[in-house]
Amino acid sequence: MVASRIDARKSVPGGRPLGLFAINLDRSPDRWAAIEAGFGSLAWPLHRVAGVDARNDPQAVLSVRGTALADDGQGLGWNLHRNRRFMLTEEACLAGHVMAWRQFLASDFQHALVLEDDAAPQPGFEPTLRSLLAKGFDADIVKLEGIYRAGGRRSMPLAELGGHRLVRSLRPCSGAAAYLLTRPAAEQLLARIGRLLVPADDFLWTPSLHGLRLADVSPWTVMQSGAASVIATDRGEKQARRGGSFMRGPVTALRRAMERLALLWAACDGRPHILVKATMAPWAPDDYNRGNKTAVSADDRRSSNG
């Protein structure tokens, strides 16, 4: 269960240090304008990844990974991670991230910051990102965004980043609106995703699925803007007509337990005794808008591409 050791400092000879890849649907120009306002003036190039639209072009969504709808046309199959249906809208979200990884690897950037189009930078974002790039980081993927929960999170400290910290969380939260990754990490994500039916954020923050080392910025420096989701899928639609074996529930529970153990094992680098050194890290910025209901419930009301 030990995460693979990929050199997070591996560079592309002559390559540029960082590119920003923001996933955005053609029918959401307002969201792209917000991304440009928040991230377009930074020193690093901002690239638009044209998302695939489950509402207007289902076949384009399916063609990204070579997937297909189930026989009844409702979803692609069963999401074993969540024990519910895996919907076309979730595939569209995942496809956007897959395309961002591919575009990153086709570029000469050493690192990529992948953004969903409801990401909004918070105070400390730019200096924290600069510090990560200048110092290097003991991770393959660094999450800069989070979902609000009261209190802190128990984490293993990794590095100081000015007013923020880099930590390995023992309880990663869902959300995939902003994360930094290396080229080897993007390669491994593409190799491992295959045709797995799992939402993008669940895949990214489950090390047993991809074998990569994860880290979080504490408190996080990007938040979801709170804009209404354009791909929202009703929970009842996902869970309808479960059918299948009565063992599906217990098997899912066992799978999640093993994923949890793998996460803890990776967080402590295979040395469980150092978990006693875990400390509480701030979860959300002090000035976080707690009225942002969209961000809180991002598990089922994701942004336009995640």
> In the chain, pLDDT over 90 holds for what percent of residues?
48
Q: What are the respective helix, strand and coil percentages of the chain, to the nearest 5?
A: 35, 20, 45
Whether the pLDDT of residue 291 is over 70: the answer is no
Whole-number Cα distances in Å, 303 to 76, 89, 117, 231, 233: 20, 11, 7, 7, 11
Whether the pLDDT of residue 2 is over 80: the answer is no
Phi-psi group of 244: left, alpha or beta (phi > 0 → left; psi -120 to 50 → alpha; rest → beta):
left
Name the token pair of 94.
């995942």
> At 306, is the pLDDT very low, low, confident or very high (cuts 50, 70, 90)?
very low
pLDDT tens digit string along 68-102? 999 777 799 988 778 889 999 999 999 999 999 99
| pLDDT value at residue 4 | 36
- Look over the chain and give the mean of its residue pLDDT values, rounded to a whole number: 80
What three-state secondary structure class fits 191?
A: helix
- 141-145, 236-240, 261-265 — which one is most confidently predicted on average? 141-145
Domain ranges for the chain, please list them: 16-222+245-296
- Better-predicted residue by pLDDT, 248 or 96: 96
Comparing CA positions, the residue from 258, 266, 256 lying closest to residue 155 is 266
| pLDDT value at residue 237 | 54
pLDDT tens digit string along 157-210? 889 998 899 998 877 666 899 999 999 999 999 999 999 999 999 999 888 889
| Residues in Cβ contact with 179 at an 8 Å cutoff, skipping those fewer than 6 apart | 113, 114, 141, 142, 143, 144, 145, 204
Whether domain 16-222+245-296 has CATH 3.60.15: the reply is: no
- 75-89, 107-121, 284-298 — which one is most confidently predicted on average? 107-121
Where does residue 302 rank: exposed (0-12), middle (13-18), buried (19+ CB within 10 A)? buried
Whether the pLDDT of residue 304 is over 60: the answer is no
Nearest 5 degrees, angle CA 101-CA 130-CA 306?
Answer: 35
Whether the pLDDT of residue 9 is over 50: the answer is no
Q: How far apart are CA 162 and CA 227, in angstroms?
A: 30
Beta strand spans in 137-273 (E): 141-143, 152-161, 164-169, 178-182, 214-218, 222-224
| pLDDT value at residue 302 | 38
| pLDDT value at residue 162 | 85
pLDDT tens digit string along 17-68? 999 999 999 999 999 999 999 999 999 999 999 999 999 999 999 999 999 9
